[in-house]
């Protein structure tokens, strides 16, 4: 406002209705002229170069300065998690962010109420749920976008982002993935949710694909089938794979064997909540260049691994990680260690059923240099000592939150081994772990040192 109404205050209230304002009582209010925009003298290229040097945390605040800065900020963004599917189909995403190389479409393809306060979070995704949703079922087909609609969005993305390097999609079919394969020749990483076997046929056209993650089954959310057919199509079409993660996928020895034979550059294989048939472990011996094997949240390693002499082994394997797995079956655990007998690092976190007898099977692996145990509450120091003293090349040992391992039970032989290690992290019970985390904070000590009785 350039003017304001000035009326002197009166001590006596007025009973008459308000009269017309006295224009002579208005006073002029001076306003400083708008400061010049010096950034307008700089070219877009120069401003982009300046913005790129700033911390990422400043990008959003800078984009609010003016429309030009908003546009330039969009050109710097390369990774985007789309929450609204209309943002893609309307073409606004291509105008707002013209240089994307990483795009995640999963949230936008699930038609759940965004106003719901109920969120179900799984290891790979989070979704809003209505109150009528039942946890003993899966997402209804009407909840997910139809495949033809997803394919239409993928076609637009393929045309606008030929330099795409990473894509995360859900419910895509062969047609949509074919468009990606034809246009996005630089795509290196692909994550597919809820897709069937035949959709993987299109991956043969993506020549530079190196990282693939397939999620076929998520408990209480959705269920799709990826079997030996899909694994074989994947193996034959993606021969340059370096990392592969299979979550909730079915399959057997044939599918794993096909991956090992065709994907000779594969270095890291992860299986999460797998539903593999018995005997799949033997297929790992065909992975000639495999260096890391990860098993996550698996209810069973291999229900029927077969005879030991037919298992083979991964000669190049260096790391074996088991997290949240149930390893109660002695036969399957023994088969796993036989296949991984040349492993150098063994990491076991929150594994159920890891008793002394089961852990004792790890002595099959004679070349272990690192052992990391965390949350293995059934293992005792007797079972630990029996294994680690048999490993002549052990250099690093980490034991955390294994409450059945007691400091008071350390034997002279184990103490001697500890003195020769290059690295030792020894916090076997939760109390010692808590104490180490509180070190230096002044907490965790006797209360009388902090709470003193006040004197009257």
CB–CB of 201/119 below 8 Å?
A: no
pLDDT band at 328 (very low <50, low <70, confident <90, very high): confident
Q: Do residues 91 and 153 make contact, with C-beta atoms less than 8 angstroms apart? A: no
Q: Give which of 283, 277, 220, 221 is closest to 251, Cα–Cα.
A: 277
Both structure tokens of 168:
């995360």
pLDDT at 33: 56
Contact between 376 and 351 (Cβ < 8 Å) = yes
In a domain, 28, yes or no: no
Q: Does 49 map to a domain?
A: yes
pLDDT of residue 191: 96
Report the pLDDT averaged over residues 268-291: 94
Segment among 58-62, 270-274, 307-311, 337-341 with least mean pLDDT: 58-62
pLDDT for the residue numbered 144:
80
Residue-level length of the chain: 456
246 vs 1, more confident: 246
The average pLDDT across 347-374 equals 95
Q: What is the structure's pLDDT at 40? A: 66
- Residue 265 dihedral angles phi and psi, to the nearest 5°: -95, 0
Is 253 among the domain residues?
A: no
Indicate whether 48 belongs to any domain.
yes
Token pair listed for 382: 């007797």
Which phi and psi angles does 428 have, rounded to 5°?
-70, -35
pLDDT digits (tens, 9 = 90+) for 50-101: 776 667 666 666 666 676 666 667 777 889 999 999 999 999 999 889 989 9
pLDDT at 73: 79
Residue 451 clears pLDDT 90, i.e. is over it: no
Phi and psi, residue 226, nearest 5°: -120, 110
Distance CA 94, CA 360 (A): 57
- Asked whether 396 and 426 are in contact (CB, 8 A), the reply is no
pLDDT higher than threshold 70 for residue 197: yes
In this structure, are strands 79-81 and 102-104 parallel, antiparallel, or unpaired? parallel
Evaluate if residue 245 carries a pLDDT over 90.
yes
Judge whether 181 lies within some domain: no
Closest CA to 127 of 193, 60, 32: 193
Domain limits for position 57: 41-76
Q: Is 341 left (phi over 0), alpha (psi -120 to 50) or beta?
A: alpha
Task: Answer whether residue 54 is part of any domain.
Answer: yes
Find the largest Cα–Cα distance for the chain. 109
pTM, rounded to two decimals:
0.78
Q: pLDDT band at 220, cuts 50/70/90?
A: low
326 by Cβ neighbours in 10 Å (0-12 / 13-18 / 19+) ranks as middle
Residue 342, pLDDT above cutoff 60: yes
Give the number of other Cβ atoms within 10 Å of residue 403's Cβ: 16
- Looking at the predicted structure, is the pLDDT value of residue 305 above 80? yes
Which ranges constitute the DSSP H helices of 220-323? 228-237, 253-262
Phi, psi of 329 (to 5 degrees): -85, 115
Instruction: Identify which has the larger pLDDT, 30 or 331.
Output: 331
Query: How many structural domains does the chain have?
Result: 1
**DSSP per-residue codes, 95-106:** HH-TT-SEEE-T
* pLDDT of 17: 45
Task: Calculate mean pLDDT across residues 399-414.
Answer: 92
**pLDDT at site 447:** 47
Percent of the chain predicted with pLDDT > 90: 58
How far is residue 103's CA from residue 187's CA, in Å, rounded to a whole number?
A: 11
Q: Please give the average per-residue pLDDT across 212-235, as a whole number.
A: 85
The residue-averaged pLDDT of 293-314 equals: 92
Q: What confidence score (pLDDT) does residue 61 get? A: 67
Q: What pLDDT band is residue 135 in, cutting at 50, 70 and 90?
A: very low
pLDDT digits (tens, 9 = 90+) for 98-118: 989 999 999 898 876 555 554
Residue 243 inside a domain? The answer is: no
Read off the tokens for 301.
Answer: 């390693």
Return mean pLDDT, the chain: 82
Long-range CB contacts (< 8 A, 24+ apart) of 73-77? Answer: 74/98, 75/48, 75/99, 76/48, 76/51, 76/52
State the DSSP string of 267-292: -EEEEES-EEPTTGGGGGGG-TT--E
Q: Is the pLDDT assigned to residue 7 strictly greater than 80? A: no
At 194, the pLDDT band (50, 70, 90 cuts) reads confident
pLDDT at 319: 97
Q: How far apart are CA 165 and CA 181, in angstroms?
A: 12
Written as six digits, the tokens of 178 are 């074919």
Distance CA 217, CA 224 (A): 6
Within a domain: residue 70? yes
What is the pLDDT averaged over residues 309-326?
A: 94
Please give the pLDDT value at position 20: 45
Helices within 284-378 (DSSP H only)? 330-339, 356-360
Query: Confidence band (pLDDT; 50, 70, 90) for 123?
Result: low
Across 235-260, average pLDDT: 94
Is residue 240's pLDDT more than 90? yes
- Read off the pLDDT of each residue in 130-152 and give the average, rounded to a whole number: 66
Q: Are strands 211-215 and 189-193 parallel, antiparallel or unpaired?
A: parallel
> Which residue in the block uniquely carries the two structure tokens 């006040």?
454
Q: In this structure, how many other beta carbons lie within 10 angstroms of the beta carbon of residue 213? A: 18
In angstroms and rounded to an integer, the radius of gyration of the C-alpha atoms of the chain is 31
Would the pLDDT of 37 be above 70?
no
pLDDT of residue 221: 65
pLDDT of res. 362? 96
Summarize the confidence of residues 321-338 as an average pLDDT.
Answer: 94
pLDDT for position 301 = 93
pLDDT computed for residue 58 by the predictor: 66
Residues contacting residue 307 through CB under 8 Å, at least 6 positions apart? none
| pLDDT value at 28 more than 60 | no
Q: Is 255 buried (19+), middle (13-18) or exposed (0-12) by CB count in 10 A?
A: buried
CATH number of the domain within which 54 lies: 1.20.1280
């Amino acid at each position: 406002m350039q003017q304001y109404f000035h009326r002197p205050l009166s001590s006596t209230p007025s009973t008459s209705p308000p009269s017309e304002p006295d224009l002579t009582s208005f006073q002029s209010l001076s306003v400083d002229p708008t400061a010049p925009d010096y950034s307008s003298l700089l070219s877009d290229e120069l401003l982009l170069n300046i913005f790129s040097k700033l911390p990422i945390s400043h990008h959003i605040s800078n984009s609010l300065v003016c429309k030009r800065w908003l546009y330039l900020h969009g050109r710097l963004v390369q990774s985007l998690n789309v929450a609204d599917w209309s943002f893609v189909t309307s073409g606004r995403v291509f105008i707002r962010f013209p240089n994307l190389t990483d795009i995640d479409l999963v949230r936008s393809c699930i038609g759940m109420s965004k106003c719901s306060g109920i969120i179900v979070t799984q290891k790979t995704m989070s979704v809003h749920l209505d109150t009528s949703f039942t946890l003993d079922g899966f997402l209804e087909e009407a909840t997910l976008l139809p495949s033809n609609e997803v394919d239409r969005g993928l076609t637009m993305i393929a045309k606008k982002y030929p330099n795409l390097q990473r894509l995360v999609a859900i419910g895509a079919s062969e047609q949509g993935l074919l468009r990606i394969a034809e246009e996005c020749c630089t795509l290196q990483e692909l994550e597919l949710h809820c897709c069937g076997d035949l959709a993987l046929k299109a991956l043969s056209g993506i020549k530079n694909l190196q990282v693939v993650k397939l999620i076929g089954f998520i408990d209480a959310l959705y269920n799709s089938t990826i079997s030996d057919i899909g694994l074989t199509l994947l193996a034959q079409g993606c021969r340059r794979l370096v990392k592969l993660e299979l979550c909730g996928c079915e399959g057997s020895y044939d599918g794993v064997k096909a991956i090992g034979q065709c994907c000779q550059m594969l270095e890291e294989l992860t299986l999460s909540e797998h539903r593999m048939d018995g005997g799949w472990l033997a297929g790992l011996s065909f992975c000639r260049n495999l260096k890391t094997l990860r098993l996550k949240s698996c209810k069973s390693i291999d229900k029927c691994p077969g005879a030991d002499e037919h298992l083979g082994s991964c000669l190049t394997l260096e790391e074996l990680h088991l997290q949240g797995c149930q390893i109660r079956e002695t036969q399957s655990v023994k088969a796993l260690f036989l296949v991984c007998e040349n492993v150098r690092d063994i990491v076991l976190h929150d594994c159920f059923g890891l008793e002394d007898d089961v852990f004792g099977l790890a002595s099959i692996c004679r070349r272990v240099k690192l052992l990391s145990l965390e949350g293995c509450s059934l293992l005792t120091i007797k079972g630990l000592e029996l294994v680690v003293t048999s490993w002549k090349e052990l250099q690093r040992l980490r034991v955390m939150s294994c409450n059945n391992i007691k400091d008071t039970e350390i034997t002279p032989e184990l103490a001697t081994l500890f003195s020769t290690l290059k690295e030792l992290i020894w916090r076997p019970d939760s109390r010692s772990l808590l104490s180490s985390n509180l070190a230096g904070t002044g907490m965790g000590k006797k209360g009388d040192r902090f709470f003193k009785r006040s004197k009257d």
